Structure 1
Amino acid sequence: MICLAACQYAIELHETWDAYAEHLQGLCAEAVEAGAQLLLLPEYAGLVLSGQLPVEQRGDLKASIAGIQPLIEPWLALCQGIARRWGIYLQPGSLPVLDLDGQYRNRAWLFGPKGVLGYQDKLIMTRFEREQWGIAAGDGLQVFDTALGRLGILICYDNEFPMLARHLAEGGADLILAPSCTDTEAGYHRVRIGAQARALENQIAVLQSPTVGLAPWSPALDENIGRAGLFVPPDYGMPQDGVIALSEALSPVGSQWLMCEVSLEHVRRVRQQGQVFTRRDWPEQFERLL
């Protein structure tokens, strides 16, 4: 069994670097003390760095992401230090990064006990990101080898597209990390239903972490709603509804960790001994029907 921690991450205002660093280290310490081996924070959790900008700049949608760019390197060092210090895996959410081509991309890094393992960009943009914010799509999917197992990252909306998770599953991923940021209950359910469908189709596990709370100081993160959850295929040895764990409230006060355990060996066993073989039958039937 591996112990996972998915954060319902409250978007709070931290106006200095020291205040933010203390906040992130303290939050991660809570999960580590509870036994977590892998910590997941939500999409755009790193955008909380914009709280350190002048009031007018952090209140401007595009100026805020330009303003946090000098803070990204210290943020990466902070996250790497947290992972190394406690010997854990940390996916600290995502944030907009200015790429070499002059485009901003929504990027999620993964850190391990020995340092950074790489990153995954969001591949499919929502209307807000594309039409109002100017965030560009990334390219390619990564499978990360860890001591806990092979895993991939699908950021929020990407979980609603079956072939992305399928690609990760065919690359050997047994666990998908799904950092999300949604401002309506319907949006949360779209991502959650997608995550559960991807677990069912591919007979893998999916861990979701959402943003929560109100942040009127940020035009990008002003409203947030969602529940953290761990989903698996409903089959032998698994919960009847495929939900291993789900946080209780849609909008808790402050950040809260969902602590949960899963055996990826048991998840893999479903693919050989399950009641159904959705992972195997999909390509077979797809080719036959076409």
Structure 2
Amino acid sequence: MTTTISVAAAEFGRDMEQGYRTIGALISDAADKGSNLLVLPEACLGVYLPSLGGGDESVEARRRRLEDLPPALELDGPELARVIEMAGDMTVTLGFCEADGETRYNAAVTLTGDGILGSYRKVHQPLGENLCYAAGSEYSTFDTPVGRMGMQICYDKAFPEAARELAVGGAEIIASISAWPTSRTNTTPNMEDDRWKQRFDIYDRARALENQLIWVSSNQAGTFGSLRFVCSAKIVGPGGEILADTGIDAGLATATIDVAELVGSARGSGMYHLRDRRPSAYGSVTAPNTFEELTYA
């Protein structure tokens, strides 16, 4: 059975109503292409942070960043209910800022018109993101009309363990949603040459190949605050092959595939990446983090 997947590189801002219009237009475009699954970027509703802090951030810059946060939404709130109503029969993955009491999370949901199928709170946090969000603590997979899925957000893709956890949990499709910017320390006029764009693409292909599954990578487009996003939304097959890609432009990338056949064929082709694991030899991978001790001792 074939499944048509669309993934977006799209621009979002703080204006929630404009965000709903953009989501609605992307759902409509994906429906016109016959899509069963649409993966939207990180932080669709209310957009991302205006900048990423760090050790060189001034007190004033940090104050402005902490004052300009996206709206915090509840899983069962009216904002996501509105997207559920828009989704209809389509399976849709998108990102937002989740409120849990006074705590904020960088979060993602996968939903259909019947409701939320799965939710995720970002585990790995870059730079100063921890000043604005709490970290999530787990990866889980869930069944959808298009197959068993898992979700990641942006920086998560730099950690092979995260994708492997989802693959071992039965994921056939991983939706990796991002607000991935260009490099701020090594700028280049041609975005194709940007080193962060190149890393983004390498991670996408490597994670798909390592785990022999369908990798669907969305991203923000345009600019927000000091960030310029690399677009590069893509669908990657289980052999690491790019099936569809927006390049450095905004838009939808779409591919029609047989998920079960592609994944089954890759995992039965003589390269048994999941079967041939040797967890007993990987003790340090799950041991307490000693990076600082190793680096600075």
Q: TM-score range by the shorter chain?
A: 0.7 to 0.9
Inter-CA distance 113–42: structure 2 relative to 1 (3 Å threshold): same
Of 225, 232, 236, the residue aligned with 1:231 is 236
Map of 2:117 onto structure 1: 117
Map of 1:69 onto structure 2: 72
SS in 1 for 2:150: strand
* CA–CA distance in structure 2, aligned partners of residues 77 and 287 of structure 1: 42
* CA–CA distance in structure 2, aligned partners of residues 147 and 231 of structure 1: 19
Asked if 2 retains the 8 angstrom alpha-carbon contact of 1:65 and 1:96, the reply is no
Equivalent residue runs for 1:236-251 within 5 Å: 242-247=241-246, 249-250=247-248
* CA–CA distance in structure 1, aligned partners of residues 272 and 261 of structure 2: 15
Asked if 1 retains the 8 angstrom alpha-carbon contact of 2:106 and 2:121, the reply is yes
Map of 1:89 onto structure 2: 91
TM-score (norm 2): 0.77
* CA–CA distance in structure 1, aligned partners of residues 13 and 72 of structure 2: 19
Asked if 2 retains the 8 angstrom alpha-carbon contact of 1:192 and 1:208, the reply is no
User: 1:77: how far off?
Assistant: 1.6
Asked if 1 retains the 8 angstrom alpha-carbon contact of 2:73 and 2:99, the reply is no
Inter-CA distance 38–275: structure 2 relative to 1 (3 Å threshold): same
Bigger helix fraction: 1
Of 193, 201, 209, the residue aligned with 2:202 is 193
* CA–CA distance in structure 2, aligned partners of residues 280 and 49 of structure 1: 38
* CA–CA distance in structure 2, aligned partners of residues 273 and 41 of structure 1: 31
Uncovered stretches (5+) of structure 1, i.e. residues with no partner: 52-58, 235-240
Of 130, 152, 156, the residue aligned with 2:154 is 156
Equivalent residue runs for 1:24-173 within 5 Å: 24-48=23-47, 60-65=64-69, 68-69=71-72, 73-84=77-88, 87-92=89-94, 94-100=95-101, 102-130=102-130, 133-173=131-171
Asked if 2 retains the 8 angstrom alpha-carbon contact of 1:183 and 1:223, the reply is yes
Map of 2:216 onto structure 1: 207
User: 1:23: how far off?
Assistant: 3.1
Map of 2:252 onto structure 1: 257
Asked if 1 retains the 8 angstrom alpha-carbon contact of 2:42 and 2:48, the reply is no
- Deviations for 1:52-107, whole angstroms, at most 9, x for unmatched residues? xxxxxxx94222326x23698332122111123xx110112x1222323x332101
TM-score (norm 1): 0.79
Say what the alpha-carbon RMSD is for the aligned residues. Answer: 2.9
SS in 2 for 1:39: strand
Asked if 2 retains the 8 angstrom alpha-carbon contact of 1:11 and 1:211, the reply is yes
* CA–CA distance in structure 2, aligned partners of residues 111 and 196 of structure 1: 25
Inter-CA distance 202–283: structure 2 relative to 1 (3 Å threshold): farther
- Deviations for 1:101-129, whole angstroms, at most 9, x for unmatched residues? x3321010111231111311110101131
Asked if 2 retains the 8 angstrom alpha-carbon contact of 1:4 and 1:39, the reply is yes
User: 1:163: how far off?
Assistant: 1.4
Uncovered stretches (5+) of structure 2, i.e. residues with no partner: 51-62, 183-193, 286-297
- Deviations for 1:159-215, whole angstroms, at most 9, x for unmatched residues? 111111111111111110010111113333333322222211111110101111123
Asked if 1 retains the 8 angstrom alpha-carbon contact of 2:235 and 2:254, the reply is no
Asked if 1 retains the 8 angstrom alpha-carbon contact of 2:173 and 2:216, the reply is yes
SS in 1 for 2:5: strand
Map of 1:177 onto structure 2: 175
* CA–CA distance in structure 2, aligned partners of residues 3 and 271 of structure 1: 19
Inter-CA distance 164–50: structure 2 relative to 1 (3 Å threshold): closer
Inter-CA distance 10–272: structure 2 relative to 1 (3 Å threshold): closer
